[in-house]
Structure 1
Amino acid sequence: MDVRLWWLNRTGKVMSFPRGGEENMYLSLKFQPDSRLMIAQWAGYEPDGCFVESFDFDEAVWNEVAKRRVGPADACYEPIDSNLRSGAGSFGEAPK
């Protein structure tokens, strides 16, 4: 387990995250306290759709691992787990 992340989770220290605001509507997050992985689901206008992204938290930096479109924006009303199980879209490499 990454001690720094454990400390951040245990202290409640606020860290910035690369998604949120009007560009990332219906944002929901999935994570485990003992993991560096964060999964984000959000809807956007440009491009239009519901997206699921995974991020790795390393050295206090969020690195995008993968991103996929899982359907139209309304798909974000479904829980992240449902959209991941649906197989909609496919994960590709994170944009550079």
Structure 2
Amino acid sequence: MKVLVTCRNGMGTSTMLTVQVRNVTSKNGWDVDCEHASLDAVGSFRGDLIISLSDVAKELEDEGVKTPIIGIDSLMDSNEIERKMTPYIGK
């Protein structure tokens, strides 16, 4: 599975969220290729899942992005990340 973690600038928030996503995937033994970038990368992303904070995820959905998007409320909550990623693993 290929995952894009994104935020507006592709720096702080997406970097911190990527660390959390990688921790969750490692803990669960999920085969996930995770990269992070700014919103500019969404248009050219050819993968399985986009993860962002909830406000950005809502904007992407409103823009009609077709790739499934997970919105995270608390980037430090690994339980939330795991719970929201689980339905997409193995699809």
TM-score by length of 2: 0.29
Q: Which has the larger radius of gyration?
A: 1
Bigger fraction of residues in helix: 2
Specify which structure has the higher proportion of strand: 1
Q: Taking CA–CA contacts closer than 8 Å with sequence separation of 6 or more, which of the two structures ends up with the larger relative contact order?
A: 2
